[in-house]
Amino acid sequence: MKLGDIYILGLPGEVLVEVGLPIKKRAGLEKLLIATISNDAIGYVCHSDAYEEGGYEPASATRLAKGAGEIVIEQALELLKRIKSGT
């Protein structure tokens, strides 16, 4: 969603910072707010390295496979690009 020059990106699940920060960095938008647990509660959205590191989030608190975090990053960037261009 875009409100003036502010972009709001709603993502499902609890997005790890290693997923959210690349979106903010690569989007090239000064005013981007990422709201998590929006539209659905799918568990944690982990980056691939988290599955190797282990821990609560990738082991038992997600329904997503390894690589899902990277897919979320790419899809979020594509969505923001479309919103930015108005298409």
Largest CA distance in the chain: 41
Strands 6-10 and 32-35: what pairing? parallel
- How far apart, in Å, do the first and last CA atoms of the chain sit? 13
Number of domains in the chain: 1
Per-residue pLDDT reduced to its tens digit, 39-86: 888 899 999 999 999 999 999 899 999 999 999 999 999 999 999 998
Per-residue pLDDT reduced to its tens digit, 6-23: 999 999 999 999 999 999
Residue 19 belongs to domain spanning: 2-85
Per-residue pLDDT reduced to its tens digit, 21-52: 999 999 999 999 999 999 888 899 999 999 99
The pLDDT of residue 83 is: 95
For the beta sheet containing 2-3, the strands, ordered from the edge strand earlier in sequence to the opposite edge, are 2-3, 6-10, 32-35
- Reply yes or no on whether the pLDDT at 87 is more than 90: no
